[in-house]
Each structure stands twice: as structure tokens, then as C-alpha cells.
Amino acid sequence: MKNYYIEDFCEDLNYRPVILYIDPKISLYDLYERLKKDNVNHLYKFFNCVGDNRLFYIENCDLQDVITNKDWNELHAMLEDGFSFLHLKKDENGYFIEIPDVIGWRE
């Protein structure tokens, strides 16, 4: 496992097949402000959708929510397309994800 620190959510995660699970210790308000700073679009759905299940991904520099309470078909299709779940965490150095060696993340 290695920690990958996110310098810019839009640049670092755009079109990566990664669904992020936001650690419960992370303030949603602070994360929202960081996504706004990093020019992630479609933040209007952050608190309503992402706040409910703490899942999101970035595509076309847009915040994409992951709907889990209505229909699991979308999530199932994403997993079949190679998406992985990673845990978004934060420490004194910033936001990061722990990446298992098996994923083969390219920087």
C-alpha cells in the first residue's frame, strides 16, 4: 500500500476509474471548499447526493455522485467497467488515498 496525496482533485482524478469513499472524519464542508478551489464542476449536488452516502468520482472535471439508494445497476456497471473503491482520507499533509499495490496506479 502506498499513500497518494491529491494535489488537485480535477487534475489528479479526472477520468480515473476510482470511486472515492469519504472518510467520516473528513468535514464535508472543508472538502467542498477544496473541490471548489480545484475547479471541480457540478458542486450543486455535493451536499444532497454525496453527503448522503459519501461516494463520488470525477469525470470531465465534474463531480459525479454514485446513487446507491435507488438502483444498483449503475454501480454494478461501473464495477464491471473496472472502477475501484478507494478510501479518501486526510492528515496534516492533505487529502490522500491508500492505493493497494495490485491496482498499479500510474502517476
Q: Which residues of 6-30 are buried (b: 16+ CB within 10 A; e: fewer)?
A: beebbebbeebebbbbbeeeeeeee
List pLDDT tens digits, range 3-59: 999 999 999 999 899 999 999 999 999 999 999 999 999 999 898 888 888 999 999
Residue of 97 and 105 predicted with greater confidence: 97
pLDDT at position 100 is 76
List pLDDT tens digits, range 73-86: 777 888 888 888 89
pLDDT at position 77 is 83
